Structure 1
Amino acid sequence: MNKQEMIYQVVSAIPHGMVCSYGEVAKRAGLPGYARYVGHTMKNLPKGSRIPWHRVVNSQGKISFPFGSDSFIKQQEALRSEGILVNKGKVSMTKYFWRL
C-alpha cells in the first residue's frame, strides 16, 4: 500500500460526527511528521472520491481553508451536516476529536 492509500484508509475510518487532525491522520497512517502531506493528499483527492476529507482539520480544530472561501464554506457545511458545531471556523477537539 502506498502513502496515499494509507492516508485514504485512515480518513475513511473517521466516524461520522468526528474529526481528526492532519498530524494525527499521518501518525495513524504510519507516517509521523507527514501532516502537510496529508493536507496535500486531501487537496488532490480523485474526482468523485467519497473519502470524508471534510473531517480533517488542523491541530487546533480549525478549518485550514481561508475564512469565507468556497472551500471553507463547503467544509463547514459538511461538518455541520454531521452535527459538529463549528464556531468561527473552529471545532472543539475535546468534544469531536476521534479517539481510538
Structure 2
Amino acid sequence: MVACTYPWENISDPVMAETRACLQAIIMAKDIGFQDICIEGDALTIIRKLNSADEDRSCISNLIKEIKGRGYNFRSLSFKHVPKEANKVAHAMAKE
C-alpha cells in the first residue's frame, strides 16, 4: 500500500480535487509497478462515475476518461467507495 500528497494550486472545486487525486494515484501505481490495484475514495459521485459503463458528460468527464483509459496498464483495477470516517489518515493528508 502507498500513500502520498501532491500540492495543487487553484482547485476550488472539491470534486475536481478528488478526481485529480484519483488520477495521480493511478499514475503513481503504474510508476511503482503495481499490477492489481484498488483505489478507495470517499467521493461517492466520482467512484460511481469510474465504475459506470456510461459515458460521463460532467465537468470532470475528461479526467474520468483519462483515469478509465489508464486501466489497460493494470492486470486489475477497481474503485471502491469508503466513508471518510473509515480512513482518517487519508482525510488528514488531504487537508494538509
Higher strand share: 2
Higher helix share: 2
- The TM-score, its normalising length taken from structure 2, stands at 0.31
- The TM-score, its normalising length taken from structure 1, stands at 0.30
- Whose RCO is larger (CA < 8 A, sep 6+)? 2
